[in-house]
Amino acid sequence: MRKKQRGLGMRSKDQNLGNGRKGKPGRDGGEKLVPAIPGGKIEHFEGLVGIHREEEDGGGWNGGSGEEPDEDKDAACQEKLSSLIEFGKALAWPTRNRDFWREVPGRAERWQMPEGDVWIEQHLKIRTKRGDVKLIQLNSAQQAYSRDCAEKESKRNIVLKARQVGITSYIAARFFVQTITRPGTLTMLVAHDREAAEEIFRIVHRFWDNLADDLRTGPLKTSHSSARELVFPGLDSEFTVTSADENAGRGRTIQHLHCTEVSRWGREGEEALASLRAAVVPGGEIVLESTANGAWGQFYEEWQRAEETGYTKHFFPWWFEESYVAEAGPAVLLLTEEETALVKEHGLTAPQIAWRRQQWASLRGLAAQEFAEDAVSCFRASGECVFELEAVETALGAASEAMETRENGRLAIWLPARGERKYVIGVDPAGGGVEGDYSCAEVIDRESGMQCAELHGHYSLREFAGRVMELAKEYNSALVAVERNNHGQAVLVQLETWGYPNLYEENGVGGWLTSAHSRPMMIGGLSEALVTAPRLFRSARFLNECRTFVRDRDGRPGGAPGTHDDCVMAMAIAWAVRGAEAGG
């Protein structure tokens, strides 16, 4: 005869609501705690956390004996499934179990971890950097991310991070718990390539492998339809890991989208991300996270436009990772000016400074990118940038809003034409298509080189010629230097046809020719101007193009993949012509 089991609704002294309680060791040998649900019955979750209740007469309760009939097993499985689903409604609730309250730097009150995070720490395992498989213990970066998401109630998040601070694994764990407690959930995690996707799937699969047996063989029993997919038929839920180059998300309906290392998605990244976001249901959650990879590309653009697109920014520098320390010798006491600033502002310790010195000596130019310290310098082009980035940053710091804008912002004016002053306009025409490069004209003062105005937009060649002519007349019939390569010839012909009187010529030929000989000279002259007089440049658009103007594998300077260089080329022409005509 089977022993009568204690009902789930019965409570003992150590089951007071909100306090949690300890139980028998789980599969990993550690004690588990029943998560406390405000306003609910804590017993509903009995068994879900691997706790086995002791009978008062010394007998055991474990959800059913190994000899119970199949119908009893099915009923027990269904009960556990129902409890999982009920628990899924409480994932965001702050725990009342004081064992999971955490200190927060700069705050008097302690942070109450949400119940979902409590469950993660009690049940999900990862392989540590030392190779051990252990229960997750949320580090400072993971706690800060969870706290920010709760406080800001954000469903759209973008994370800029240093290497290996634990954000990817935590977000995967967070979405895994939501997938196994909320019916009809599709979570899609998208990595930058297949190798990375397979590595991340091993992390996710390890979550499931180390759950209690009665969960894995019961309500969370899986069916595998591919090598990177966990399907839970009992919940009609699925956790899929794929890569950005595999038509990810096509034809799917996604509740949770986690895009990792977006800065390395390549040229097709923009199309892939647009397709994935279109597949996310209203109210679904999206996380874009990555280390920096140069000041260009999809992730860089997403970070810069986060406020405009409604994404919440999260930034985690390297010191959020507690293991980034090294033995500190006497030399650490002699701090550089940069190190002194870090110690004062962020409270870095001597072992952290010692570790930093090792990484900066080893990685050199890549260190600021791989182990970010601020959300600006980490995007720098890692030594590939043609222009001196320090000069560009100085100019950006002094850049100002235009005094006047016209044509919905396509024409920006910082300094209007004055008296008898003379001006030069460098013109870089484009083909006019809305998906291609922009046409750009930069106006500078012929004597000082000060940037006065910028015309930038998609125009037909005839329309652009007309806008340039109007702008030139406004600036005292400025000297107009049109790049005559490709589309520029059509603009030149149009200006000549209309009789504009002040067109730049080289050896009797109208326009400026950008060639293998003239291009290095143009860019070199502009680079020198940025170093010696960075405050002459007012346009943030132009200066941001300077940040992404890099040398390719063949050493040829130009805009990085996915970026534009129209402003740079127009400004380089203006400065080169100013130098030739005015002896500047």
User: Mind listing the pLDDT tens digit for each residue in 436-461?
Assistant: 679 999 999 999 999 999 999 999 99
For 429, phi and psi rounded to 5 degrees?
-80, 155
Partners of 242 in the beta sheet?
190
Max mean pLDDT range (47-56, 175-184, 210-219, 376-385): 175-184
Task: Report d(CA 489, CA 482) in Å as an integer.
Answer: 8
Regarding whether 578 and 476 lie in a shared domain, the answer is: yes
Tell me which of 61, 88, 115 is where a domain ends: 88
Partners of 54 in the beta sheet?
60
Regarding whether 241 and 355 lie in a shared domain, the answer is: no
Mean pLDDT, to the nearest integer, of 389-404? 89
Domain assignment present for residue 103? The answer is no
Regarding whether 338 and 283 lie in a shared domain, the answer is: no
Regarding whether 357 and 253 lie in a shared domain, the answer is: no
451 closest CA partner among 571, 353, 280:
571
Secondary structure of residue 428 in the 3-state scheme: strand
Confidence of residue 22 (pLDDT cuts 50, 70, 90): very low
Regarding whether 72 and 161 lie in a shared domain, the answer is: no
At 38 the pLDDT is: 41
Regarding whether 312 and 338 lie in a shared domain, the answer is: no
Indicate the range of 8-12, 140-144, 404-408 predicted with least confidence.
8-12
At 207 the pLDDT is: 95
pLDDT one-digit tens code per residue, 567-579 = 999 999 999 999 9
Domain assignment present for residue 512? The answer is yes
Residues in the chain: 584
Mean pLDDT, to the nearest integer, of 284-312? 90
**pTM higher than 0.85, yes or no?**
no
Tell me whether strands 411-413 and 186-191 are parallel, antiparallel or unpaired. Answer: unpaired
pLDDT one-digit tens code per residue, 466-518 = 999 999 999 999 999 999 998 899 999 999 999 999 999 988 999 999 998 89
369: part of which helix (H) or strand (E)? helix 367-370
At 224 the pLDDT is: 66
At 582 the pLDDT is: 59
- Whether 160 contacts 292, CB under 8 Å: yes
Confidence of residue 340 (pLDDT cuts 50, 70, 90): very high
At 377 the pLDDT is: 82
pLDDT cut 70: percent of the chain above it: 84
- Whether 135 contacts 110, CB under 8 Å: no
At 40 the pLDDT is: 41
Task: Report d(CA 542, CA 526) in Å as an integer.
Answer: 12
Mean pLDDT, to the nearest integer, of 303-313? 92
Task: Report d(CA 157, CA 313) in Å as an integer.
Answer: 6
Q: How many domains does the chain have?
A: 4
Regarding whether 285 and 189 lie in a shared domain, the answer is: yes
Torsion of CA 458, 463, 464, 467, to 10 degrees: -120
Secondary structure of residue 242 in the 3-state scheme: strand
Q: Does 73 have pLDDT greater than 90? A: no
CATH code of the domain containing 513: 3.30.420.240
Regarding whether 226 and 268 lie in a shared domain, the answer is: yes
- Whether 49 contacts 24, CB under 8 Å: no
At 573 the pLDDT is: 97
Structure tokens at 344: 């004062």
Quick count: other Cβ atoms within 10 Å of Cβ 110?
A: 12
Q: Does 45 have pLDDT greater than 60? A: no
- Whether 440 contacts 411, CB under 8 Å: no
Q: Does 18 have pLDDT greater than 50? A: no
545 closest CA partner among 444, 458, 437:
437
Regarding whether 294 and 248 lie in a shared domain, the answer is: yes
25: part of which helix (H) or strand (E)? strand 22-25
Regarding whether 231 and 350 lie in a shared domain, the answer is: no
Half-sphere exposure of 291 (CA within 13 A, CB side): 17
Q: Does 56 have pLDDT greater than 60? A: no
Q: What is the DSSP string of 191-227?
A: ESSHHHHHHHHHHHHHHHHTS-HHHHTTTT--B-SST
Task: Report d(CA 426, CA 419) in Å as an integer.
Answer: 21
Number of alpha helices (DSSP H) and beta strands (DSSP E) in the chain = 18, 25
Q: Does 150 have pLDDT greater than 80? A: yes
Q: Does 55 have pLDDT greater than 60? A: no
311 closest CA partner among 303, 323, 320, 322:
303
Secondary structure of residue 541 in the 3-state scheme: helix
- Whether 570 contacts 441, CB under 8 Å: yes
Tell me which of 354, 379, 404 is where a domain ends: 379
At 560 the pLDDT is: 78
Quick count: other Cβ atoms within 10 Å of Cβ 453?
A: 27
Q: Is 174 left (phi over 0), alpha (psi -120 to 50) or beta?
A: alpha
Structure tokens at 348: 């870095």
Confidence of residue 251 (pLDDT cuts 50, 70, 90): confident
pLDDT cut 90: percent of the chain above it: 60
Residue 129 is classified by DSSP as T
The one-letter code for the residue type at 61 is: W
Compute the C-alpha angle 496/498/500, nearest 5°: 65
CATH code of the domain containing 261: 3.40.50.300
Residue with tokens 């937009």: 457
| N-to-C CA span, the chain | 103
pLDDT: which is higher, 452 or 29: 452
Beta strand spans in 527-566 (E): 549-551, 557-559
For 20, 166, 254, 582, the CA distances from 530, given in Å and listed in that order, are 63, 39, 47, 19
Regarding whether 48 and 147 lie in a shared domain, the answer is: no
At 436 the pLDDT is: 65
pLDDT one-digit tens code per residue, 97-123 = 999 999 998 888 999 999 999 999 999
Regarding whether 351 and 431 lie in a shared domain, the answer is: no
Domain assignment present for residue 321? The answer is no
At 1 the pLDDT is: 41
Domain assignment present for residue 37? The answer is yes
Which residues 6+ apart lie within 8 Å of 568 measured at CB? 523, 526, 542, 545, 546, 549, 559
- Whether 384 contacts 548, CB under 8 Å: no
Tell me which of 265, 290, 316 is where a domain ends: 316
Confidence of residue 434 (pLDDT cuts 50, 70, 90): low
What is the spatial order of strands in the sheet that 186-191 belongs to? 229-232, 237-243, 186-191, 254-260, 280-290, 156-161, 312-316
At 330 the pLDDT is: 80
182 closest CA partner among 273, 53, 281:
281
Task: Report d(CA 241, CA 104) in Å as an integer.
Answer: 33
For 163, phi and psi rounded to 5 degrees?
-65, 140
Domain assignment present for residue 112? The answer is no
Mean pLDDT, to the nearest integer, of 1-16? 34
For 314, phi and psi rounded to 5 degrees?
-135, 130
Domain assignment present for residue 113? The answer is no
Domain assignment present for residue 93? The answer is no
At 329 the pLDDT is: 81
Tell me whether strands 186-191 and 254-260 are parallel, antiparallel or unpaired. Answer: parallel
Q: Domain range for residue 516?
A: 396-582
Q: What is the mean pLDDT of the chain?
A: 84
pLDDT one-digit tens code per residue, 211-229 = 988 888 888 888 865 678 9
189 closest CA partner among 282, 255, 267:
255
At 176 the pLDDT is: 97
